[in-house]
Structure 1
Amino acid sequence: MTAGNSSAQTLPAAAHAVAGAVGGAFATWMFYPLELIRVEVQKKGNTTTSPNSESDECTEQKDGNTAKESQQKMPRSESDLECFIRLYKQQALYRGASSMVTTMLISSFITFYALEVTRKSLSMLQKGNHQQKQRHVRQMQSLQKHIKFLEYILPQSKMGMSLLSSTLTGIINVFLTTPLWNGTRRIMESDVHVAPGSPKKPLREPSLWEMMNHISKDEGVLQLWHGTWSSLLLVSNPAIQYFLYEQIRVWVLGIKNDRYHRRQLVHGSRDNGHKILQLTAMEAFAFGAFAKTIATIVTYPLQLAQVLIRLRKNEVKNAGASSNGQDDQQPLKEYGGIFECLYQQYTRGGFTSLFQGMNSKMLQTVGQAAFTFLTYEQTLKLVGKVIESST
């Protein structure tokens, strides 16, 4: 994240973590309604295309035109605008927002901290291979296998090292924050609201910690890490995002440094070595938006499958609880995995169905990422000035 910037490289990992946490929490709060709309649209769309509706339709064809009438009565998918209006009337646009902001605050802190630590550690390992060969000649026999192992697994280019550090950061983040995300999603997907004009007060929304405690007590502690393996596939999203952002950042700062030194030579002035070049707010915004756009387009079907698998599991659970032993309808089955979910989604709606709900997702996630990096860069400047003034 910080290659090519001398000031950023001297800042401790905690400074990057604080800046990233502030940026992530602020951007999440700004764009939270769009995230909630995406979840609602995906939930409604998945419900209206369940296999139960198809079996009911086949049964009703025995009565002539009954199937056509049932198709006309079948609810259509809700648009993003209609979902926004409905949530606004229900005063539920920020349902679960506190849990999401808290989760993003912790997740961003872990991400930016781990990213700095892993990047610097891998860089030191890569540089230390040749130094160890020269300094420890007598210990070569015991270290030879380890050194060769590192040479094989560590990328030799800076771009490869950046991609590896981003991937490792994503894996660390998944294992540490999956319980938080599971609790947050449960709160977001709940329907705790009161119709407009109702004199009754709405039920109190559970906090993130209460929801996590509820899951661990009722379903077991391991259920907090449900979906971890599918989330590991989605590590590709932040890995691509941070990798692209860093590469663009390094390239632009390199151009700025070259231009600065050239101006110094033209004017005959000497560079005192303390000039700090940073990305502007608009540059950070644009680069963050571009990186997130590419990452989202590439990995969106996997994200959709993760949501649909979780929603189908809830539907099967609710259907089993309300069936009361009635076997008239074909039982609803859970998806066998991500690829089965994507295949069924494709057979129902074609290629475009693999990107169901991406409109609100793109606006929400790209805007959120752009403001995250904008706030991150500005906060990092402020933290850097505070550290410099205190030393």
Structure 2
Amino acid sequence: MGSLSKEVQQQSLSPFGHAVAGALGALVALTITYPLDIVKTKLQVQSKSTSIDQDTPYYNSTLDAIYKILATEGITGLYAGLPAGLIGVASTNFAYFYWYSAIRSYYQRTRSSNPSTAAELFLGALAGALAQIFTIPVSVITTRQQTVTTRERKDLVGTANEIISEDGVTGLWRGLKPSLILCVNPAITYGAFERAKAAILKKQGGEDLSPASAFWLGAFSKTLATVVTYPYIMAKVRLQWRPPKRGMQAQITKAVLSQAILFYAKEYTTRYTLLMFAFITRLWISRRRMEI
């Protein structure tokens, strides 16, 4: 086992490996922060008419929304649409980390240097755009499940069929344009993270961040990205009548906590993913030798 750990330390993950580690980290992060995701979405889709609709609760703040959801729907109300959300976040982060790692590695090979800040932002936005094109249908389904009443809520397949029956297949890509513009959000997040990471590692003379350092760097970089792009996030989910501060508290809390946990978890899952790949490689080599 010791020699296997040494092998792991000498290896770096492929784009596929980074995708697996990123997806696993995102699953952990979303499971922990999902109630805030529900609240954030409900606050952002409220319109002025909601306040006079007797059948639809009106939420004044993050805590008020949590209290009212628990009172009307119970604990399950805070996890409505979780299966679709997990599929969505796993697929989105798998696609993002795959494309980001692949594009960044290609850049480093062809330029023989690390990307500049501008290049880092461009690479992150390009990876985010590719990820969004492939995964936005699950995001559309999750948002629908989070915002309908309990009696109207359907399962993953039922919600997808409902959207298709109303808007056609293209309805599953609703919001793609603002989503593509919002690719600057992960670009800022990962760009800031990589630049800060490089500076810290250079100062410390190390090769890897500790999970705790990754957590705080992730929190900082996501806060920066969310503050910069929040007006467009708000427009995307149709916050129609209040100024940007409405829903921003839940947005920042959820986004920052989720991203920080993701980076924290990814530092662990990266190591275990490397260990798993090294173990599988060793088994394959041993089997080939036995066959020969």
Residue 122 of structure 2: aligned partner: 164
Q: Which residue of 2 is the match for residue 247 of structure 1?
A: 195
Correspondence 1:293 to 2:223: yes
2:66 to 61, 74, 84: 84
Provide the rounded CA distance (Å) in 2 between the counterparts of 1:8 and 1:163: 29
Distance 1:361 1:121, change over 3 A: same
Does residue 97 of structure 2 align to residue 112 of structure 1?
yes
What is the identity, as a one-letter code, of the residue corresponding to 2:95? I
Q: Matches of 1:38 and 1:279 in 2, distance apart?
A: 31
Do the aligned residues in 2 keep the contact of 1:46 with 1:308 (CA within 8 Å)? no
TM-score with structure 1 setting the length: 0.63
CA–CA distance in structure 2, aligned partners of residues 125 and 86 of structure 1: 55
Q: Closer, same or farther in 2 for the Cα pair 1:9/1:243, shift >3 Å?
A: farther
- In terms of Rg, which structure is larger? 1
Percent of paired sites with the same residue:
27
- The structure in which a higher percent of residues are helix is 2
Secondary structure in 1 matching 2:209? coil
Q: Higher mean Cα deviation, 155-164 or 229-238?
A: 155-164
Q: Structure 1: state its 5+ residue gaps.
A: 1-5, 54-74, 128-154, 194-202, 261-276, 310-340
Match of 1:103 in 2: 88
**Which residue type is aligned with residue 63 of structure 2?**
L
CA drift at 1:232: 1.3
Evaluate the alpha carbon distance shift between residue 31 and residue 120 of structure 1 in structure 2; reply closer, same or farther with a 3 A threshold.
same
- Residues 177-192 of structure 1 aligned to structure 2 (within 5 Å): 177-192=135-150
TM-score by length of 2: 0.83
- Partners in 1 of 2:193 and 2:143 — Cα distance? 28
Query: How far does residue 36 in structure 1 lie from its aligned partner after superposition?
Result: 0.8
Runs of 5+ in structure 2 lacking a partner? 1-7, 283-292
Counterpart Cα distance in 1 of 2:59 and 2:15: 46
Match of 2:168 in 1: 220
CA positional deviation for 1:121: 1.9
Q: Distance in 2 between matches of 1:157 and 1:14?
A: 21
Query: Kindly tell me: are residues 157 and 362 of structure 1, through their superposed partners in 2, closer, same or farther at Cα, counting changes over 3 Å?
Result: closer
Preserved CA contact (<8 Å) 1:300 1:355: no
Q: After TM superposition, list the pairs within 5 Å mapping 1:203-214 onto structure 2.
A: 205-214=153-162
Measure how far apart 1:21 and its partner are: 0.3
CA deviations 1:31-73 (Å, max 9, x no partner) are 11111112222233543589xx9xxxxxxxxxxxxxxxxxxxx
Residue 272 (structure 2) aligns with: 382
2:36 to 30, 34, 37: 34
Amino acid at match of 1:43: V
* CA offset digits 1:244-266 (Å, max 9, x no partner): 11111112122222xx6xxxxxx
Separation (CA, whole Å) in 1 of partners of 2:11 and 2:49: 49
- 2:213 corresponds to which residue? 283
- Report how many aligned residue pairs link the two structures: 268
Structure 1 letter corresponding to 2:131? N
Contact between 2:108 and 2:115, CA under 8 Å: does it hold in 1? no
Q: Are the aligned partners of 1:301 and 1:355 in contact in 2 as well (CA < 8 Å)?
A: no
